[in-house]
Structure 1
Amino acid sequence: MDHREAGIPGKSEPNLLDGHISHLALDIGGSLIKLVYFSTNDDVDVVDKAGRSGKESLGKGRFHFANFETSKINDCLEFIQTKQLHLGGCRHLEAPPTDMTIIKATGGGSYKYADLFIEKLGICLDKEDEMDCLVAGANFLLKAVHQEAFTYMHGQKEFVQIDHNDLYPYLLVNIGSGVSMLKVDGEGKFERVSGTNVGGGTFWGLGRLLTNCKSFDELLELSHKGNNRVIDMLVGDIYGGMDYSKVGLSSTTIASSFGKAISDNKELADYRPEDISRSLLRMISNNIGQISYLNALRFGLKRIFFGGFFIGGHAYTMDTISVAVHFWSKGEAKAMFLRHEGFLGALGAFMSYGKHGFDDLMFHQLIQSASLAGDKIGSPPNGKSSENESIECSIYAS
């Protein structure tokens, strides 16, 4: 479990006795469950359209992020129960009175595990469309969070200044278990233009079969130590160490992923798991980068934003995707990444509270300011970006 806590500065856990948890949202995917919740210490009196009064936490606060493997959903339920996150949920103002807590959720698991949340926690999952949430989450991050988007190539990270008046259109590539590619034209305006079934689930699934790794993080850590050239067939392997300069291929370009396994008189046990995972990561990342660019080319898009937990702040993954986009576009298009790439859907589900009667409580002016704590991007041992990342923002009623 990767838990990106961001409570009171200097503390690793939010103080639930002094503070207030407001609005939990979930994105339950095929591989991972992503959680986003908001905490603040300021309570004010509010009145809704029906004249009902009550207290709501408004003012400065922080978003908190956590994720769990979907196969270990009971760990997620225990986390919610222990931190009492569901007690900060809401009762739907437009629905009949009920003791059931309403929590916004998206992803296929919001249907698959709906009964389990009711049984274990008394939570009713109010389901939001997955693609709507992805786009809403991405738009929120790109508009509200300082230094959210960046490029990463050849080990160099560079933050991108986003002009809010010139954000659209762009291509959003969300790499989860599979990959969805969305052409985003504005707030709530998008079209799923393509996708591929070769995504994060492919990397994890094949990785488990080939290396016996027990977790996604373990597989990523292995790839960091591997050498794909032991298994991949390069242009130089075919042309006697030379470039194929006539068509612009260097000797180090991969001609065939896993190609050397054809001619090597070796069994699976003869290959290092590190090299296998590296080759697998390179193959999938290259493929996603190329398909993404080809779809951007279809619509004349120069900017491509990549999200999803497959990336996980992993330097080699980002570098491979960036090189692929750069190569196929001849430098005309750029791959850009998001600091909170794995939480787009969960953030979008959180934003959807404002569409269902809760706007009178806290969504008049949702994000007044936002800043980010920590900016470390690299390849820490677990393949994740800095666990000190958070979004701090001002939320108040006008």
Structure 2
Amino acid sequence: MACLKEDPILRSNDIKEDSEETEPKDKLDLSGAAIQGNNFEERHPTILLPNQSDDISHLALDIGGSLIKLVYFQDMKTGQLMIRGKVETSKINECLDFINSKQLHRGGMDSRLWLSEAPPSDDVIIKATGGGAHKFADLFKERLGVSIDKEDEMDCLVAGANFLLKAIRHEAFTHMEGHKEFVQIDHNDLFPYLLVNIGSGVSMIKCRLMGMGSFSGLVGQMLVVVLIGLGKAINKVFDDLLELSQRGDNRTIDMLVGDIYGGMDYSKFGKTISENKELEDYRPEDISLSLLRMISYNIGQISYLNALRFGLKRIFFGGFFIRGHAYTMDTISFAVQFWSNGDAQAMFLRHEGFLGALGAFMSYEKHGLR
């Protein structure tokens, strides 16, 4: 599933599209891009893009299978780029109400300045990616009077990651044994890298230096869906699993090498086979932790093996599966370190779940849309 694309953010001329697109008069200005404030523990902090014209578009969405993520300008004077998410896709109408209340589809102006009976413009276009961009296009037209312009998901993931890694300091970090450390990115040595986006599914994408922005989709996995489905077997949704796992002890349910020889994990859920117990005899907290360890470890292992196969030194993890959960990041990091014998490390992104939405936002200038 290989493809070459021109990066909509960095606009390299090394790779050309079949036809030249007209450069828009006003482009998104990334100079001075920074994270607002000095709270380095904040997840999804506001991004400042201070040097914009009033003609810049205000809203883009990533409408996934489970969650809706929004990126929009809150204040054009300061260039506050708001990052907002965790709206369940099943509650799409609540998202539309929020957009309408802030008039984001009309440029973000104070809704009190608009007449409720004023007809919407047929020319308004909102950039969106994800499966919901197709599924809910008619609903956006009906409720807000706007057209959805659908962007390719992988295009947006890569564009969003490139933007964060190239333009934003204190974005990437490592997390090992509870210790978080920011990574300074050498822009001249960023490419190639492996981007692992963990949502409902897991996408592994090789981002390579052939004109920045070119990429190849390598592997897709459905491991997270397995976790969510198994969680429902104990009547827990994903957020519940994360919360329960913090109080769990996987040693009560996993068979360890220590049970045989001494050492690390041997078989996930192994004790449910060897012990004369029913699933109901085990605590939900312990089941949740074992499930989370199993999925996170496998993601880390498979990611490193793909990086090894394609000769990639850097591995960045994003996606809403992570959610800043320390144990998840520690488990992924351990797997990468273990299988690489310490030669590779997992790196994470503060705006982990918003790569697609950020990439969709950046795509306006690619098409000359305002």
| TM-score bracket for this pair, using the shorter chain length | 0.7 to 0.9
CA shift for structure 1 position 332: 0.4
Partner SS, residue 69 of structure 2: strand
Aligned length: 311
Instruction: Tell me the equivalent position of 1:203.
Output: 227
Instruction: Tell me the equivalent position of 1:164.
Output: 187
Match of 1:319 among 327, 330, 342: 330
Aligned CA distance change for structure 1 residues 100 and 204 (closer, same or farther; 3 Å): farther
Separation (CA, whole Å) in 2 of partners of 1:120 and 1:223:
40
Instruction: Tell me the equivalent position of 2:287.
Output: 276
CA shift for structure 1 position 6: 4.5
Instruction: Tell me the equivalent position of 1:374.
Output: none
Instruction: Tell me the equivalent position of 1:75.
Output: 94
For 1:213-252, list aligned pairs within 5 A. Answer: 213=236, 215-239=237-261, 242=262, 251=263
Instruction: Tell me the equivalent position of 1:192.
Output: 217
CA shift for structure 1 position 20: 11
Q: Deviations over 1:224-281 (max 9, x none)?
A: 1111111111101122xx2xxxxxxxx1x11111111112222222111111111100
Match of 1:29 among 50, 64, 69: 64
Separation (CA, whole Å) in 1 of partners of 2:135 and 2:278:
40
CA shift for structure 1 position 87: 1.9
Share of identical aligned residues, percent? 70
Measured on the aligned residues, the alpha-carbon RMSD in Å equals 2.4
Higher strand share: 1
Separation (CA, whole Å) in 2 of partners of 1:66 and 1:222:
22
Instruction: Tell me the equivalent position of 2:84.
Output: 65
Is 2:150 the counterpart of 1:127?
yes
The 10-residue stretch of structure 1 (117-126 or 80-89) with the greater mean CA deviation from structure 2 = 80-89
Q: Deviations over 1:20-55 (max 9, x none)?
A: 99421111111111111122243xxxxxxxxxxxxx
Consecutive unaligned residues in structure 2, runs of 5 or more: 1-42, 49-53, 109-119
Match of 1:113 among 130, 136, 139: 136
CA shift for structure 1 position 123: 2.5
| AA partner of residue 91 (structure 2) | K
| AA partner of residue 297 (structure 2) | N
Separation (CA, whole Å) in 2 of partners of 1:7 and 1:163:
21
Separation (CA, whole Å) in 2 of partners of 1:81 and 1:130:
25
For 1:288-303, list aligned pairs within 5 A. Answer: 288-303=299-314
Separation (CA, whole Å) in 1 of partners of 2:66 and 2:81:
26
TM-score (norm 2): 0.79
Aligned CA distance change for structure 1 residues 116 and 262 (closer, same or farther; 3 Å): same
| AA partner of residue 339 (structure 1) | R
Separation (CA, whole Å) in 1 of partners of 2:96 and 2:47:
21
